[in-house]
């Protein structure tokens, strides 16, 4: 199964009814950028997030056991929108990032490996991090030769012209542990892929000859000789003959001449070696095999997937094929694995054969093709049934409205299916309590994490009490005879207003006041956000919505 991310969010997931696209087709080919196309509708939540040349899409293979692998990265190249809002989107593989940078004029004597490193480092220095490559595996070998460039080619063209067209080999990109590498390989060495067999997973087979590619005699041309002004040839090291040929190809098609330029090669011996390699390569272009085959990995079988560049065993006795052949191109429909097709380059001499051998065997294919189709359909139906059963179990455990809590940030849709949305982000959870207004309904938000008592003071103005303290006390004093003298009110210090017989007043001078100076009360409370939080621990919470 496959899923697709737009930058860091899913745009397609086979288990999410909202994240759907139509007709997703992936085409990969040796030394090509590769392409991905699909149709997206307005109800997809990522519909308006597509940005030309900027958005990155990641195609990821995954299975029910949690295994996954990114198999292709690309960027949006074009999009067309029809009257109903249906968008057809076309993307180009990440090798196209090399088109965004240029190589300034240079002249140096380097090996192909070192030149490749120089080109990639120059590319990385000109682009943003998401378009840079880590230098990966380099197995290409070759002598150091003088390389000169006076123009300003883009990096992709310079790799093509100064490396692939001169030394051969393959470039590829790959993802590993979140980093993106670019490799320069002399050859692919993987020969442990799943087999493609007549009567099993081969749905259709076509063998064809491309006459315009046939060259049976090759004249290799090297760098320009400064003395003669002509290109160096191999005549001096090939018994005076300036061309090379393959006898089996000549016997089949006759002598057909062509030239191949190696403008950076100055040694005739090196030129002859590269010319011989080109003879083999052109001979192998004579016949190609195109298979429509089911990649059993896509149907859940425990086999290695078929990848471009792999050498895989191909067995089809009616066509005289029983050998390892290299996958040169693969076309996939991510939703319909039975529609996948692969193209195998002819890398073995037994494929240089007359068309009559092919015609005699093709008549036996039809019954086996029907059997293979039935096999593929049965496998697809079985996979679909397993998915239905898994969905039923998930629906019982996590029906719509369920909450899933985890310390991992993966959306549960990636392993449970259905549609999920992040839930209660930045909030604690409280059980429903219908007796309290704050908690009387489900999913009712409330509360505030900020301080409940804000820091504050009280001001008191200066005050004086009223100056009114004068008062008296009445006293009744009688006069009388004592052992020595007599006593009257006056003698006791009071005014005698009634001849010692009536009440008199005790006068007290009590004028005074109290002073309260201006002042502030002490501050209380706390300012700032986040001062009203209980102890907590954070987790990821998801709510199933579909």
Nearest of 194, 410, 221, 228 to residue 302 by alpha carbon: 194
Maximum average pLDDT range among 153-162, 366-375, 434-443: 153-162
Give the pLDDT confidence score for residue 310 in this predicted structure. 85
Structure tokens that stand for 449 in this block: 């994490």
- Chain mean pLDDT for the chain: 78
Q: How confident is the model at residue 434 (pLDDT cuts 50, 70, 90)?
A: confident
CA distance 422 to 403: 10
Beta strands in 111-230 (DSSP E): 134-138, 145-149, 170-176, 179-185, 196-197, 202-209, 217-221
Q: What is the pLDDT of residue 381?
A: 63
Count the alpha carbons within 13 Å of 336 in the hemisphere toward its beta carbon: 13
Q: What is the pLDDT of residue 214?
A: 74
What value does the mean pLDDT take over residues 85-104? 96
DSSP 8-state assignment for residue 424? S
Best mean pLDDT range from 258-272, 383-397, 531-545? 258-272
Q: Residue 369: count other Cβ atoms within 10 Å of its Cβ.
A: 16
Q: Is the pLDDT of residue 18 over 70?
A: yes
What is the per-residue pLDDT across 27-36, written as a single tens digit (0 to 9) for each? Answer: 999 999 999 9
The pLDDT tens digits of the residues spanning 265-275 come to 889 999 999 99
Whether the pLDDT of residue 295 is over 70: the answer is no
pTM: 0.54
For 321-325, 428-432, 509-513, which range has the lowest pLDDT when averaged over its residues? 509-513
Nearest to 12 by CA among 39, 48, 51, 52: 39
Q: Which residue has the higher pLDDT, 208 or 64?
A: 64
Decide if pLDDT at 371 tops 80. Answer: no
Is 60 exceeded by the pLDDT of residue 48? yes
Output the pLDDT for position 323.
72
| For range 422-435, the mean pLDDT | 85
pLDDT digits (tens, 9 = 90+) for 335-367: 887 777 788 764 333 333 333 333 333 343 344
The per-residue pLDDT for 392 is 72
Q: State residue 354's pLDDT score.
A: 33
CB 487 within 8 A of CB 479: yes
Question: Do residues 39 and 89 touch, judged by C-beta distance below 8 A?
Answer: yes
Say yes or no to pLDDT of 127 above 70: yes
- pLDDT grade, residue 253 (50/70/90)? confident
Task: Give the mean pLDDT of 122-138.
Answer: 96
Instruction: State residue 497's pLDDT score.
Output: 47
Q: What is the pLDDT of residue 366?
A: 42
Answer with the residue of higher pLDDT: 314 or 505: 314
State whether residue 345 is helix, strand or coil. Answer: strand
Residue 446 has pLDDT above 60, yes or no: yes
- Would you say 490 and 519 are in contact if contact means Cβ atoms under 8 Å apart? no
Tell me what the mean pLDDT of segment 410-437 comes to: 84
Number of H helices, E strands in the chain: 7, 32
Distance CA 346, CA 208 (A): 11
pLDDT for 350 equals: 34
Contact yes or no for 72/34 (Cβ under 8 A):
yes
pLDDT score for 64: 80
Q: Which residue has the higher pLDDT, 284 or 107?
A: 107
- What is the distance between the alpha carbons of residues 299 and 291, in angstroms, rounded to a whole number? 18
Q: What is the pLDDT of residues 211-228, one digit of tens each?
A: 666 788 999 999 988 888
Q: Where are the domains of the chain?
A: 211-283, 459-520
What is the mean pLDDT of the segment spanning 511-518?
67
- 129-143, 350-364, 431-445: range with highest mean pLDDT: 129-143
Tens of pLDDT along 145-187?
888 888 999 999 999 998 998 888 999 999 999 999 999 999 8
In this prediction, residue 534 has a pLDDT band, given cuts at 50, 70 and 90, of: confident
**Among all chains, which residue has been given the structure tokens 């052949």?**
325
Please give the pLDDT value at position 490: 53
Q: How confident is the model at residue 189 (pLDDT cuts 50, 70, 90)?
A: confident
pLDDT at 364: 39
Tokens 């320009």 belong to 224
* β-strand partners of 289: 207, 344
Q: How far is CA 202 from its chain centroid?
A: 33
């Amino acid at each position: 199964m496959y899923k697709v991310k737009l930058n860091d969010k899913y745009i397609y997931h086979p288990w999410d009814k909202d994240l759907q696209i139509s007709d997703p087709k992936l085409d990969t080919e040796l030394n090509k950028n590769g392409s991905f196309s699909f149709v997206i509708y307005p109800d997809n939540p990522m519909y308006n997030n597509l940005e030309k040349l900027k958005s990155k899409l990641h195609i990821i293979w995954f299975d029910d056991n949690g295994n996954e692998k990114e198999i292709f990265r690309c960027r949006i190249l074009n999009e067309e929108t029809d009257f109903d809002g249906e968008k057809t989107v076309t993307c180009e593989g990440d090798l196209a990032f090399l088109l965004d940078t240029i190589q300034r004029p240079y002249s140096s004597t380097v090996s192909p490996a070192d030149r490749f490193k120089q080109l990639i480092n120059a590319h990385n220095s000109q682009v943003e991090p998401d378009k840079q490559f880590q230098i990966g595996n380099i197995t290409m070998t070759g002598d150091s030769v003088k390389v000169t460039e006076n123009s300003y080619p883009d990096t992709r063209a310079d790799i093509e012209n100064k490396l692939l067209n001169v030394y051969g080999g393959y470039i590829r990109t790959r993802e590993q542990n979140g980093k993106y590498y670019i490799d320069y390989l002399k050859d692919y060495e993987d020969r442990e892929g799943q087999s493609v067999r007549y009567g099993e997973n081969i749905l259709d087979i076509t063998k064809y000859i491309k006459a315009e590619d046939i060259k049976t005699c090759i004249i290799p041309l090297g760098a320009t000789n400064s003395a003669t002004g002509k290109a160096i040839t191999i005549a001096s090291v090939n018994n005076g003959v300036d061309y090379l040929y393959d006898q089996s190809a000549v016997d089949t098609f006759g002598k057909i001449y062509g030239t191949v330029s190696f403008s950076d090669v100055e040694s005739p011996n090196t030129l002859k070696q590269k010319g011989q390699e080109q003879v083999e390569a052109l001979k192998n272009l004579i016949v190609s095999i195109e298979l429509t085959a089911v990649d059993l990995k896509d149907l859940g079988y425990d086999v290695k997937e078929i990848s471009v560049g792999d050498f895989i065993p191909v067995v089809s006795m009616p066509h005289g094929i029983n050998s390892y052949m290299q996958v040169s191109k693969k076309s996939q429909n991510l939703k319909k694995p039975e529609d996948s097709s692969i193209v195998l380059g002819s890398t073995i001499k037994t494929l240089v054969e007359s068309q009559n051998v092919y015609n005699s065997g093709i008549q036996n294919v039809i019954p086996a093709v029907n059997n293979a189709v039935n096999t593929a359909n049965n496998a697809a139906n079985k996979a679909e049934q397993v998915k239905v059963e898994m969905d039923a179990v998930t629906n019982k455990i996590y029906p719509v409205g369920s909450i899933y809590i985890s310390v991992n940030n993966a959306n549960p849709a990636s392993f449970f299916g259905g549609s999920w949305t992040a839930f209660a982000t930045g909030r604690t959870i409280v059980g429903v309590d219908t007796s309290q207004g704050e908690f009387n309904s489900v999913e009712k938000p409330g509360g505030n994490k900020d301080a409940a008592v804000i820091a504050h003071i009280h001001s008191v103005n200066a005050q004086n009490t009223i100056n009114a303290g004068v008062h008296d006390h009445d006293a009744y004093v009688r006069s009388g005879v004592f052992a020595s003298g007599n006593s009257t009110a006056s003698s006791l210090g009071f005014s005698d207003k009634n001849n010692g017989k009536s009440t008199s007043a005790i006068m007290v001078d009590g004028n005074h006041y109290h002073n309260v100076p201006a002042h502030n009360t002490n501050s209380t409370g706390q300012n700032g956000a986040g001062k009203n939080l209980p102890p907590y621990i954070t987790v990821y919470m998801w709510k199933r919505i579909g």
